[in-house]
Amino acid sequence: MHFKKTILKNGLRVVTAPMKDTQTVTVIVSAGVGSKYETKNINGISHFLEHLFFKGTKKRPKTKDISSALDAVGGEYNAFTGKEQTAYFAKVDARHFDLALDVISDIYLNSKFEEKEIEKERGVILQEINMYEDTPVIQVGDVFEELLYGDQPAGWEIIGTKENIKNLKRSDFLKYLGKNYTAPNTVVCVAGNIEEKEAIGKIENIFSKMSRKNNGGKPKTKENQSKPQIKIKAKKTDQAHLVLGVRAFDMFHPDRFALSVLANILGGTMSSRLFLSVRERLGLAYYISASYESYTDSGYLAVRAGVDTEKSKIGKAVKTIIGEIKKIREKKVSPRELQKAKDNFRGKMALSLESSDDIAGFLAGQELAKKKIESPEEILSRVDKVSADDIMRVARGIFMNDRLNLAMIGPVEGKVFLEKILKV
């Protein structure tokens, strides 16, 4: 993969990735800010602000002026807010690169944030909160992070609270925007069928006047746990949705590659240990998986599953998951299973980097979080070096009672039955 990083005089980072074998181009503009940068009284402002960027600029006064411009050329466009970044992107036929760059830069630099649009969008986001409340398979992840990190930014929901959404003022948005949407805190990435030098010149021309000040960063996530923890959100559902996980490594930790392979072996595929034991052998779940989630200052390995609401079946599923955790901690994985996980990792990476939007997101995300980019080749080289000893060492280090956490949403009363079995 060829890419180039250019830093403008005001500190803005530009990443370009020419791809001659595609007919598309993707423009993504990412700000290094998300819910981890918020205080409690404005929790949710990063996500709310993301919505407001599509509500009109001086050049395109109305929402439909923004959407129509890209719809007219068959473009795909959207935005997302995370714990540590907020991004805006458009993917178009390469002939319309100038249009995509113009629209995305326009909303990023020139949005109006009109009072009437803020008031309308409150209702939209309140309904989005209600949607997540009705989607426990997604919301259980928020319950898990709240259990893990408690009352600090890492433990708050990205979308915020209904009370905050109702009370945020235009002045709050402008203050937050001025602090965080600055040149040193922004990455512009363009991937696709472009002339690299020309693209860099156009980006520099548009973004060169952005503020040079730094945003001051975010508070460091605090880790504090001495025994297994359980959090149940009682809700009438037809499934008990659970996340069983452990505190692990941030995205800079040298063992992150070994943990990625471990997660793949444990529950990354339909032939993984958890899928075969919990679903295929016992028929306890339709969905079950394991994944490693990492941020700049925290991380965890999490097993997700949806099981029957009967306590006996919940208990059996949790016991089975714990059993697989014990096995991978106590017995070395075989050379064949280890190689299969590495090959799967390699194949998934290839599939995830096929298109211009995939590559733009990959490059922008790394540059924003790490201020450096590891190429796919570098990542795969590190994965190839993971040994069975590394897997066991990492498993023994993270799969400990004082790191265990279990979050659940469902019609479950009491947690004593889970406390008795939540141990490794």
Contacts with 358 (C-beta within 8 Å, 6 or more apart), sequence order: 352
Residue of 38, 50, 121, 145 with catalytic role: 50
Is position 223 annotated as part of the catalytic site? no
**Sheet of strand 86-93, all strands in order from the earlier edge strand to the far edge:** 4-7, 13-18, 186-192, 24-31, 86-93, 76-81
Phi, psi (deg, nearest 5) at residue 18: -65, 135
Query: Encoding tokens for residue 51?
Result: 């919505």
What own/partner pairs with CB < 8 Å and gap ≥ 24 does 37-40 have?
Answer: 37/84, 37/153, 37/180, 37/215, 37/217, 37/218, 38/153, 38/156, 38/160, 40/151, 40/156
| Rounded Cα distance, 45 and 295, in Å | 20
| Rounded Cα distance, 166 and 176, in Å | 17
Query: Encoding tokens for residue 214?
Result: 């730094």
Name the 3-class secondary structure at 136: helix
Q: Using alpha carbons, list the distances in angstroms from residue 23 to 18, 191, 198, 405.
A: 11, 11, 17, 46
Catalytic residues: 50
